Structure 1
């Protein structure tokens, strides 16, 4: 939902209050067919809204896919999309859903879909949400409901999970794992912590949590971003001379460099120039002029150095009508907007009439308070490494995995904070395989009832299932079934 000014927003709130005076307005719906998908779904898909907050003013939309295997026994995954403020539907359509976008068959008509050969729903039931309000199909009945931060967002996610399971008690006995990627490296540990604290406090229902998993997580807003310069050098994107000069004159502090340090500032400007047309989510992929990651300004030390402001919905158009006809990675994002905002699709998904789907609510991510009235998402948790340290004293299975060609959250930074947990090594660095080919490298740590598996996915980027679907599924499937990599 776009938040452009306070007056239009107040009018929208009044309209929503009139339309949504009860949280029972939206019935849950089980779906078997979808526009653009030629086949029937091989598993149960349910969509709906759950009200959270003091007065349930925040209405969070969800997609629930039952496992294609054995729903009564297979693990139950609560998926947390990154961003902050990115829709679970974007992960469904472009990464791990039962169905995904079928780009070759998108020839100017409606967005085509196909069943996903590497859907993670083959091994687990997965619950996706659009969180926070203003993301995807989720909304708030009040202005206050759009004001959020890391801490509040995660409390509402925990509230949502409990309420959903109360309505679906048949899944309470399934092993629960909380899984996400990217910025959920900040929010997901907070949710896990809420679950563990809830168990200690006797919250109902009792959640059968077994662990969590994170892909290419942003875990520390300083360390992960600061690591981009050493990583870019290690991958051959920066010269030895430039890197050593920046390292010496910036004293290893690239993110919070002293603006009066002229030599350091000049070195960082040269680094930005070198990385100006590097596609940060995967450094080997081509730069696309029309990509959603095309910047208004370049700064490798920004959280999302290549992102733009929220795309206006009237800009979304079929890919084939744009100037560049060849496929670009971010074309799938444009197609997602087209499909998700199709009236027939929204009717099939039981979405409130008139809703405009936004893949990633950039208003929440980037805006600043001011005359425009835009509402910012407040990042009030700079690091979650301490939470991971805390979890080493619990009974938990943990998977941390990284694409080794990601410049957004470099795997080298992830490896450093994992080492800082000081958990004994159970199995040292070694390759793991898919079809007799190296899928990546892995090592395992263990302490009491705590076990952490770290794995790289060779040749992958920031959102692993998007870049290496086969290897990503193999990794997830083996880990969730407790099969050695």
Structure 2
């Protein structure tokens, strides 16, 4: 059996256009903070990518708990750009989570989740772009990245990882992500497809993709924030009508001479400034990151005010928000991921500096994709299936803006708007299916990522990945 495995690797090395593969991996049996051996298969490692192999992308790989030999393989990309894939592994859809106990100076404890998507799929949680999580660059030039650059590096990562893991080459493959990865995931799918057509090896058995509350077109999402605030009762009918009249329905890049519109936008800002934009029903607690130079293609419109703890050190108890805050666990993740024993157990490079859950402000990043819709169009033409879901209480990427660009694709509806259920008595959200193999679903009461309603999102994913209607 071992000889057959070596022969497969040898043949792949001849066929592939990749001259050599640099993959270092570690099978993790125990994790600091979790009591006892891990009851699932976890692998971590680095894959060298880039023109001169000068970028080291870190990954976590969790095998499916159902049937890893046949279940789909999915790569999960966290947004930001620059947020660690721990956001997926320990918050959104992975097998572990922080207990949320009040921090007492020791390592934050972990516990098993009931909602992990790895119950039905093999998932690669990738730290991309370079500078995210434990990923790093060997030179200052290699640290410079962009939307399109990370798309190419993710494709390169996947083909190299599959050469090192040939047992997963035939598994159905999907790309998944949320938030800003809405700019990246469709491009990765297109890049994989183009590479397959060019004969790059190994062939990736790409079937489709999954996106949650995707940032798709910043101008579009921004223009829908005022209507969303009105729908949710955050601003009055009178203010909304005045905004529509004085601003002409345009709430971004407003003419500085339009005093009435600017005054109305200030009134709007006063109404929503204390709203936690990622889930408008939750308290507006401090967050653990500082927004970097996100492209300001729009002025005037605001989403809410983030309470940023800029000086949080990772062990600074007084600066932690109250444990009742949803964001409390984010601060626990910094304490955990910066612990030397954790880094050693994960096989992360020990010389790396401070780990930040979202390293947005420290990555030299170029935003060179303004609108991801053309990628969706191209992928639809190739026949890929895809699931787009939106938490309906997210103000960062309002569900109504997602509905708008989906509507503009102009595909016929094959299963019209209807509720989908958690049980016989509980509506989980609403869904609609299109002729281009696209399913759109809302998560009732949901926020910007799956972690706000993990049980609903888990059920949705399981049904969709198994080819069943919601």
Structure 1 alignment gaps of length 5 or more:
1-21, 365-374
Residue 315 of structure 2, aligned match among 317, 322, 325? 317
Residue 440 of structure 1, aligned match among 399, 424, 429? 429
Q: Does 1:382 align with 2:382?
A: no
Residue 133 of structure 2, aligned match among 115, 136, 141? 136
Query: Counterparts of 1:376 and 1:258 in 2: how far apart (Å)?
Result: 31
Deviation, structure 1 residue 175: 0.5
Q: Which residue of 2 aligns with 1:417?
A: 405
TM-score between the two structures when normalised by the length of structure 1: 0.87
1:276–1:309 distance in 2 versus 1, CA, 3 Å: closer
Residue 276 of structure 1, aligned match among 273, 277, 281? 273
Deviation, structure 1 residue 202: 1.2
SS of residue matched to 1:41? coil
1:323–1:310 distance in 2 versus 1, CA, 3 Å: closer
Residue 464 of structure 2, aligned match among 479, 482, 485? 479
1:309–1:196 distance in 2 versus 1, CA, 3 Å: farther
Q: Tell whether the 8 Å contact from 1:58 to 1:133 is kept in structure 2 after alignment.
A: yes
Query: Counterparts of 2:175 and 2:302 in 1: how far apart (Å)?
Result: 24
Q: Which residue of 1 aligns with 2:442?
A: 456
SS of residue matched to 2:184? helix
Q: Which residue of 1 aligns with 2:4?
A: none
Residue deviations 1:38-57, cap 9 Å, x none? 14222211111111111010
Query: Counterparts of 2:302 and 2:244 in 1: how far apart (Å)?
Result: 20
Query: Counterparts of 2:35 and 2:327 in 1: how far apart (Å)?
Result: 24
How much is the aligned-residue C-alpha RMSD, in angstroms?
2.2
Query: Counterparts of 1:241 and 1:211 in 2: how far apart (Å)?
Result: 44
Deviation, structure 1 residue 34: 0.3
Q: Which residue of 2 aligns with 1:48?
A: 45
Q: Which residue of 1 aligns with 2:394?
A: 406
Q: Which residue of 2 aligns with 1:360?
A: 358
Structure 2 alignment gaps of length 5 or more:
1-19, 293-297
Query: Counterparts of 1:301 and 1:37 in 2: how far apart (Å)?
Result: 46
Q: Tell whether the 8 Å contact from 1:309 to 1:363 is kept in structure 2 after alignment.
A: no
Deviation, structure 1 residue 326: 3.9
Query: Counterparts of 1:108 and 1:472 in 2: how far apart (Å)?
Result: 33
Q: Which residue of 1 aligns with 2:5?
A: none
Further displaced range: 29-38 or 347-356: 347-356
Query: Counterparts of 1:203 and 1:303 in 2: how far apart (Å)?
Result: 44
Deviation, structure 1 residue 273: 1.1
What pairs up with 1:17-416 in 2 under 5 angstroms?
27-104=24-101, 106-288=103-285, 290-292=286-288, 306-307=305-306, 311-312=310-311, 315-317=313-315, 321-322=318-319, 324-355=321-352, 356-364=354-362, 376-416=364-404
Deviation, structure 1 residue 27: 3.3
Q: Which residue of 2 aligns with 1:470?
A: 455
SS of residue matched to 1:258? coil
Query: Counterparts of 1:219 and 1:268 in 2: how far apart (Å)?
Result: 24
1:352–1:376 distance in 2 versus 1, CA, 3 Å: closer
Q: Tell whether the 8 Å contact from 1:225 to 1:301 is kept in structure 2 after alignment.
A: no
Query: Counterparts of 1:330 and 1:39 in 2: how far apart (Å)?
Result: 27
